[in-house]
Amino acid sequence: MKSKALRDSARGQDCTFQISGVCNGNSETTVLCHLPSETGGMSLKSTDECSAFGCYDCHQVIDGHVQNEEYKNHQWFYNFRALIRTLGEWQRLELLKFKGAK
């Protein structure tokens, strides 16, 4: 799935990755970062629902442009935490709805 609304929702948001020693804390640099998943692959981004809000510096690490030992050692923690935080924000913004949720 590709969604302009989900991509645009990252603008001005806090970084949900907050990689220790990496995150710049500047919401003006936040974009939607696509996480590794089975919907992505060689030269293909994951779908937008498998994404999270990330600042420029965290995004550079996630995409592998900058190597970081902290992220390398705890990648699943950072990615899962960011995804859960982003899904919660999308639900709050009513960009993502769960049937029967209150």
Query: Which pLDDT tens digit goes with each residue over 30-78?
Result: 999 999 766 655 566 778 888 999 999 999 999 999 999 999 999 999 9
The predicted-structure confidence for 89-102, as pLDDT tens digits, reads as follows: 999 999 988 888 77
The confidence score (pLDDT) of residue 100 equals 84
What's the pTM? Answer: 0.90
- The residue assigned the tokens 């900058």 is 66
SS3 98: coil
Domains of the chain: 4-92 (3.30.50.20)
> Cα separation of 52 and 69, whole Å?
21
Asked if residues 24 and 55 have their Cβ atoms less than 8 Å apart, the reply is yes
Would you report the helix, strand and coil content of the chain in percent, each value rounded to 5?
40, 10, 50
Residues assigned a catalytic role: 34
Helices and strands in the chain: count of H runs, count of E runs = 3, 2
Would you place residue 2 in the very low, low, confident or very high pLDDT band (cuts 50, 70, 90)?
confident
Our CA dihedral for 60, 62, 67, 68, rounded to 10 degrees, sits at 110
